[in-house]
Chains A and B, each alone.
Chain A
Amino acid sequence: MTDQITQVVIVGGGSAGWLAAGVIAASSPARVQVTLVESPDINPIGVGEGTWPTMCATLQTMGISETEFFRECDASFKQGSKFSRWTSLSKEDDYYHPFTAPAKYHDINLAPFWMPFRDKIPFANAVCPQSAICDLGYAPKQISTAEFGAVLNYGYHLDAGKFSPFLHKHCVEKLGVKYVRANVTAINSHENGDIKSVTTDSQGEVSGELFIDCTGLSSLLLGKHYAIPVVLQKNTLFNDSALAVQIPYTDGADAIASHTLSTAQSSGWIWDIGLQSRRGIGHVFSSSYTTDELAERELRNYITPAVGKKMAEELSVRKISFNPGHRQTFWHKNCVAIGLSAGFIEPLEATALVLIEVSAKMIAEQFPANRTAMDIVAKRFNRTLSHHWQQIIDFLKVHYVLTKRTDTEYWRDNCLASTIPDSLKELLELWKTQSPWRYDEVLKEEMFPSASYQYIYYGMKGAVSADIDSKIEGNVKRLQEKKLRKAESLFMENAQHIQQLKKLLLPNRELIEKIKKHGLQTI
């Protein structure tokens, strides 16, 4: 067949380019040759330092050793997120979104059984041991747990500046990815509008049958060349700016948090990510509601307790601007965008890297054999990605819309009906009378499990209609004594499980040091 797809050209390095290269080279058919063209003059944006547990499978797919990953990428464990002061201004206001689903999630929905106790114990604490383990700063596995094996589900925190070179080396040395270090100066087309090749300044022409746009916010192929428009989402999710800073630990042995700490501010929120050698902290906010100066003030105030007044004022802060939104389509002709070139909403819930993984996996596993098949795969890809983006938007908006904060216009406006997508309005209405569960998962492979909705919804004390308690009582009777008994025993087991885990697990830093020293076993 003449139109067989064998040459994949990825334009752009960074996390998106190298993850796409690795996943496609490792799991697409053997005939496929992946070439990555990277500009020597453009630095990757270097943010995106939190992952979902999907990253374990992604690294495994590429044949990466988890031990090497810890040694090379300044990585640490991430067991979920803790949200502070998102619901109210109270200092005690916080809740967890752990990566481990509620106990026996697929057999029983514990939410209705927890509701009668909702004033006594937070949802996450009642149904899963992970928030207690995060509070202790413990790691999610033991030194004797095999690579990528987990006692509690985990993803990672990583240094994006180290992650790309690490993937680069692996892709080139182990997966046969061809590397072209040059600037793209022109994009050349076939008559049918497909991209034929890219011309580079120093390495000639690079041709291929499938082009992957990983050029970041500049979106060189899909955005500039094909002029695919961006669907802006700023009306729903207001953030469009971030100020990032890195702070050192006061001494080398400081505890490393094993969750992302996310603290709401007056017109945005601050992320706090603990790596082995430093913390990455950033304030993401909306320029429509506050100024850079005020946002920087809040950021510097946030780091002052950790580094002291002097250093807090002196550390240099990096500004990143973005337009929250995504392309109208993601795969156009023989070009598909992965990463920021496809879109970006905001860093909340670390959706950027997981979307890269999902996209790359979909391309690799449904790799089109020929040009005709490509159109069909592209159609599917666009349909699925549109669904994912809509889900991301709804899921992120849930974090804002459930707030009870009214202290600033930012929080008040976030609750205006005009800013809430219809799809989410429906969900919010439904969840007043029945809890999010498996039926909230439409696709087989959703970006977020419905358990995540439970954690956020109940973590933020989402509304349950006035008569819900009597309804629940009625429900409980109808739901059979058996189920109630099972739920009660699961709550008990959870409490016991926490006690056992306390004995088995080590502080995050201690385990990471052990991994670096002894390595994790492969079985």
Chain B
Amino acid sequence: MPSFALLNNVDHKNLRVIRDYSSQYGDDEMSVVTFPQEFRAIQNDYPIFFKKNAETGKFIPVALTGLRQNENLFLSEKGWDSNYIPASVKRRPFLIGIQPPRPDDVSGQPSKMVYVDMDSPRISESQGDAVFLPHGGYSPYLEAIVDLLDYIQYGTDLNEQFTDALLAHELLETVALEVTLKSGERINLTGLYTINEDKLTALSGGAVAELHGKGFLECIYMALASHANMIKLIARIEAKVLSQ
């Protein structure tokens, strides 16, 4: 169970974070959440689908990283085997938390806070990159993390708008993927959703203009184009099976 602590330079003065990727750090999941701003980079390597958030039931776009439960095919002995590491992976073990505005805050804006998962196996005092500078200032690593968390926060809002728009135009549909490996093993991927292409081609001009105006039309086509990466994922799993 993660235990999130509000990051501060007193309690976490000596905090270091191991930035390698491996199953021992909990990176062995078969899909990770992704965001419209990074679709362009994601669609080079990963198939993009949609899943329901287990906590809220809301749709989120995900990048597939594997085909079987708890198997990330991008993990190798050399770390993460791709030029682009999804933002939701890179942020680990940090998280942004929204706090309601303080009573004395005249702006009334909720404030964003950085939290760190103290139970993450990435946490160390001896290995990895320092989070704070010796005098307590942000390390360049933490600066980058703060930017990344902002990016994710923005992307999370965008995801909600994006999937709401898809649902409003009935553009999502369930998809069942069945993969048969050379070994004969059959893999059924369930709980995934994708763009309904029939509905997409039948969209009215007004609807297309609306989606385009929000930048979502591009996202839709990138998600569809990304499905070609299923071949790459299958190649990865076949190679892995062979080597075992």
6 A-B residue pairs with Cβ-Cβ distance under 8 Å, sorted by A, are A142-B54, A143-B56, A144-B57, A514-B55, A519-B57, A521-B57
Q: Is A291 an interface residue (CB 8 A)?
A: no
Interface string of B183-220 (1 = CB under 8 A from A): 00000000101000000000000000000000000000
Expressed in whole angstroms, the Cα–Cα distance for A520 and B172 within the complex equals: 15
B174 touches A144 (CB 8 A): no
Smallest CB gap from B53: residue in A: A144
Among residues of A, the one whose C-beta sits closest to the C-beta of B174 is A523
Residue A518 interfacial (CB < 8 Å): yes
Chain A contact surface mostly: loop
Partner of B54 from A144, A519, A520 at Cβ < 8 Å: A144
Are B172 and A518 in touch, CB under 8 angstroms? no
Minimum Cβ distance to chain B for residue A514 (Å): 7
Q: How many contacts between A and B, using CB within 8 angstroms? A: 33
What string of 1s and 0s marks CB contacts (under 8 Å) between B41-59 and chain A? Answer: 0000000000011111111
Nearest chain A CB to B56's CB is how many angstroms away?
A: 4
- Chain A hits for B98, CB < 8 A: none
Chain A residues with CB under 8 Å of B176's CB are none
Residues of A within 8 A of B167 (CB): 521-523
Is A143 a contact of B173 with CB atoms below 8 Å?
Answer: no
Chain A residues within 8 Å of B, Cβ to Cβ: 142-145, 514, 517-523
Q: How far is the CA of A520 from the CA of B58 in the complex (A)?
A: 8
CB-based contact A523/B54 at 8 Å: no
In the bound complex, residues from chain B placing their C-beta under 8 Å from that of A522 are 167
For B193, give its contact among A142, A517, A519, A523 (CB under 8 Å).
Answer: A523
Please give me the residue from chain B that is nearest to A522 by CB atom.
Answer: B167
* A518 to B191 alpha-carbon distance, docked (Å): 19
- B contacts with A, residue count (CB < 8 A): 14
Give Cα A144 to B167, complex, Å: 15
User: In the complex, A522 Cα to B193 Cα: how many Å?
Assistant: 13
The reply to whether B57 and A142 contact each other, CB–CB distance below 8 Å, is: yes
Enumerate chain B residues within 8 angstroms of A520, measured Cβ to Cβ: 57
Residue of A nearest to B57 (CB): A143
Q: Which residue of chain B is the closest to A145 with respect to CB atoms?
A: B57
With a CB–CB cut-off of 8 A, which chain A residues contact B55? 143, 514
Contact B56 A518 (CB under 8 A): yes
Mask: chain B, 13-55; 1 = CB below 8 Å from A; 0 = not: 0000000000000000000000000000000000000001111
Whether the pair A523, B56 counts as a contact (CB closer than 8 A) is no
Note all chain A residues with C-beta closer than 8 A to B52. 143-144, 521
Closest to B167 in A: A522
User: B191 — nearest CB in chain A belongs to which residue?
Assistant: A144
A337 to B196, CA, bound (A): 45
In the complex, A476 Cα to B52 Cα: how many Å?
A: 46
Tell me, in angstroms, the Cα distance from A502 to B172 when the chains sit together.
Answer: 30
Query: Shortest Cβ distance from A49 into chain B, in angstroms?
Result: 26
| A132 CB to nearest chain B CB (Å) | 22
Shortest B38–chain A CB gap in Å is: 24
CB within 8 A of A514: which of B57, B59, B172, B174?
A: B57
Which residues of chain B have C-beta atoms less than 8 A from A514's C-beta? 55-57
A518 touches B173 (CB 8 A): no
* Residues on the A chain within 8 Å of B59, using CB: 521
Bound complex: CA A413 to CA B55 (Å): 53
Q: Are B57 and A518 in contact (CB under 8 A)?
A: yes
Beta-carbon contact of A523 and B173 below 8 Å: yes
CB contacts (< 8 Å) of A144 on chain B: these are 52-54, 57, 191
Q: Identify the closest chain B residue to A67 (Cβ).
A: B57
Cβ of B53: which chain A residues have Cβ within 8 Å of it? 144
Closest chain A CB from B43 CB (angstroms): 23
Which residue, B57, B167, B173, has most C-beta atoms of chain A within 10 A? B57
- Bound-state Cα–Cα, A522 to B173, Å: 10
Q: Which residues of the partner chain A approach B54 to less than 8 Å between Cβ atoms?
A: 142-144
| Closest residue of A by beta carbon distance from B193 | A523
Asked if B58 and A521 make an inter-chain contact with CB atoms under 8 angstroms apart, the answer reads yes
- Taking CB atoms, residues of chain B closer than 8 Å to A521 are 52, 57-59, 167
Tell me which residues across on chain A come within 8 A of B57, comparing CB atoms.
Answer: 142-145, 514, 518-521
